[in-house]
Structure 1
Amino acid sequence: MAPRDSRPAALLEALGVPEAEETAYLSVLAAPESTVAALAAELALTPGRAGELLRSLTERGLLHRSEGPPARWSAIAPDLAVQALLLRREAELCRLRGRIGELMRTHRTARRPPAAELVEVVTGPEVIAGHWRRMLAGARHRVLLFDKPPHVVRADPELELGLLSRGICVRVVYEAGSVSAPGRLAEIREFTGAGEQARVLPELPCKLAVVDDRWAMLPLCTGSAPHGAMLMRSSSLLDALAGTFEAYWNRAVRIPDPRTPARDPKDRHTELLTLLCAGFTDDSIARQLGVSPRTVQRWVRELMDSLGARTRFQAGIQAARAGLL
């Protein structure tokens, strides 16, 4: 069983009340009408120290003093007293939030010349991953992603699921090679089931992440696991990257939401088109849809003929334009 005072003590500590005062407050809370002598005996303190703690708690609004002799202290109702402390702490945090801009100016002046303050180069997978997680933690409205192999940071589903649970809009364009990796489609379905909006293209120019209108991150080099990345803050360059995402998003083919059940052949054909655009082989599609490879081949021929497409991906594009995806 946890100690009697573990939960209140943790609460008061979070509100800036020192440990010694927490202990004194809990003692008075459990024994109303406490005196200096009683508190000193209870906590093995000198009378001077006990009186100091009682006066400090009274100034914080946690205790009420009744004149004696001897003077006695009782705890003010915790819902009122703790709420007042909480409001004061919130006011302090608001003041600090208002000074973030001032702190950032000091940081930039000390570390970089003004011309370079909008772009920061970070190196090393662990450092990149740390910046990435901090960007996601600070997201308020939206996260835009180009998901292109190889994967380094975006391997932890909890990162994105946490965003979606906070109501953040997450839109992802997947490169076909990413979707066709073993187990990847099941993971994407988990994301789309939680609210992610997902589309797919045969190829993407680079990895990219845009968080709100405040940050963007992309690797210094493409084609291998990134050991260096550029972190960009609000600027025309960040706006251009967001515009690049929108251009590719509008060209991409939608990945169906798994929350919508496939009730007829048209629904199955929708998933077939998505898998075709993702670069899945006939055997892989057959396993995903639970049919034979010959059935997949027949469906593909029928779709391409009906859409007038010469390639599989062209069939997906034609289907998207026709509103079938």
Structure 2
Amino acid sequence: MIPDVSRPAAGGLLDGLGIPEPEQAAYRRMLALSRTTVAGLAADLGVGEERAARLLAALHGHGLVHRHDDPPGDWSAAAPDVAVEALLLRREAELLRTRGRVAELMRAYRRGHEPHAADLVDVVTGQDAIAGLWRRLQEAARHNLLMFDKPPHIVRADTAVERELLDRGVRIRVVYEAGSVNAPGRLAEIRDAVAAGEQARMLPELPCKLALVDDRWALLPATTGAELTGAVLVRASTLLDALGAMFAAYWHRGVRVADTWSPADPAAERRMELLTLLSAGFTDDSIARQLGVSPRTVQRWVREVMDSLGARTRFQAGIQAARAGLL
């Protein structure tokens, strides 16, 4: 029985190659014939000659039939092991090219379904531009300003700006890296800021410079290095949430810079400074530079503090000081 090419059959042998069932039926019929003509194929399939000619042209385009010149007008089927294999190879190449375009399609999809990256992150280059952006962020702060203070610095801390923020009710919390406090007199500046209302802690090392303004922005260096030439502004996103969680983790590990001092008791003040610097990981030489004394004097003071706290090591001294509420 000749297949009805007007209705597609389920499960054609060449469906996987994208060949319509009418063309498959014509090819299967031609496989049983050594040669045929347009008229002969039309009669075998029960279709008009115009329809048969279109089927042969389509099969010829797939490489499944050949047209003969002698006698002219004869057609024959190509051997399946060669013709179908060639179609398979072309199909595989097309699928590989399509797979390579999935990433392009996904970019188009994300543009329509997700916030654009430019809406979440900006890159600012040049020290003047970074300093200007930092000033604008400080002016925009309403509730919280959280910072990792780590070298390098492109502008010196402005105590007037900080006091204005504190007067507006902005809560300021800063974790200082030991390297940020090495300059003589820097610890005294931090003490003044703490006295004005800043909450400060210190650690030997921080992962990066960072500023978080409310729950709206974060500013951090674009790259690591000795010179700050580029910065990244992050807006509200999961990345901003992650940076906030990182700040909280380091804040809880930091050594508190005390907000109660006794100017009338220089020995108590010196003891507090010494304990703070020791617990933050400062070396004797760094402490000496900070306090304006010799390393030998620092060593003597450290021994006195350790003896008074009953500590055998600097680490134990820090723990004992924290337990005693001295830090």
Identity of aligned residues (%): 68
Residue 212 of structure 2 aligns with which residue?
Answer: 210
Instruction: Determine helix, strand or coil for the equivalent of 2:146.
Output: strand
> How far did 1:205 drift?
0.7
Residue 87 of structure 2 aligns with which residue?
Answer: none
Aligned counterpart in structure 1 of residue 322 of structure 2, from 298, 310, 320: 320
| 1:109-162 residue CA offsets vs partner (Å, 9 max, x unmatched) | 9xxx72331111111111111111111101001100000011113433333222
Measured at CA, do residues 146 and 309 of structure 1 come closer, stay the same or move farther in structure 2, by a change above 3 Å? farther
Deviates more, 1:204-213 or 1:294-303: 294-303
Tell me, in whole angstroms, the C-alpha distance in 2 between the residues paired with 1:258 and 1:152: 30
> How far did 1:324 drift?
2.8
Residues 102-181 of structure 1 correspond to what in structure 2 (within 5 A)? 114-181=116-183
Tell me, in whole angstroms, the C-alpha distance in 2 between the residues paired with 1:147 and 1:210: 12
Measured at CA, do residues 313 and 177 of structure 1 come closer, stay the same or move farther in structure 2, by a change above 3 Å? farther
Structure 1 spans left out of the alignment, 5+ residues: 1-108
TM-score for both structures, normalised by structure 1 = 0.57
Measured on the aligned residues, the alpha-carbon RMSD in Å equals: 3.1
| 1:9-43 residue CA offsets vs partner (Å, 9 max, x unmatched) | xxxxxxxxxxxxxxxxxxxxxxxxxxxxxxxxxxx
Instruction: Determine helix, strand or coil for the equivalent of 2:232.
Output: strand
Measured at CA, do residues 180 and 117 of structure 1 come closer, stay the same or move farther in structure 2, by a change above 3 Å? same
| 1:170-214 residue CA offsets vs partner (Å, 9 max, x unmatched) | 111111111111332232222122111111111111000001101
Look up the equivalent residue of 2:212 and give its one-letter code: V
Aligned length: 214
Look up the equivalent residue of 2:120 and give its one-letter code: L
Q: Larger C-alpha radius of gyration, 1 or 2?
A: 2
Measured at CA, do residues 293 and 227 of structure 1 come closer, stay the same or move farther in structure 2, by a change above 3 Å? closer
The answer to whether the 8 A contact 1:132-1:153 is kept is no
Measured at CA, do residues 150 and 158 of structure 1 come closer, stay the same or move farther in structure 2, by a change above 3 Å? same
Look up the equivalent residue of 1:248 and give its one-letter code: Y
The answer to whether the 8 A contact 2:204-2:280 is kept is yes
Tell me, in whole angstroms, the C-alpha distance in 2 between the residues paired with 1:167 and 1:259: 23
The answer to whether the 8 A contact 1:277-1:316 is kept is yes
Residue 222 of structure 1 aligns with which residue?
Answer: 224
Residue 242 of structure 2 aligns with which residue?
Answer: 240
> How far did 1:278 drift?
4.8
Residue 302 of structure 2 aligns with which residue?
Answer: 300
Residue 49 of structure 2 aligns with which residue?
Answer: none
TM-score for both structures, normalised by structure 2 = 0.57
Measured at CA, do residues 288 and 146 of structure 1 come closer, stay the same or move farther in structure 2, by a change above 3 Å? closer
Measured at CA, do residues 159 and 251 of structure 1 come closer, stay the same or move farther in structure 2, by a change above 3 Å? same
Structure 2 spans left out of the alignment, 5+ residues: 1-110
The answer to whether the 8 A contact 2:181-2:187 is kept is yes
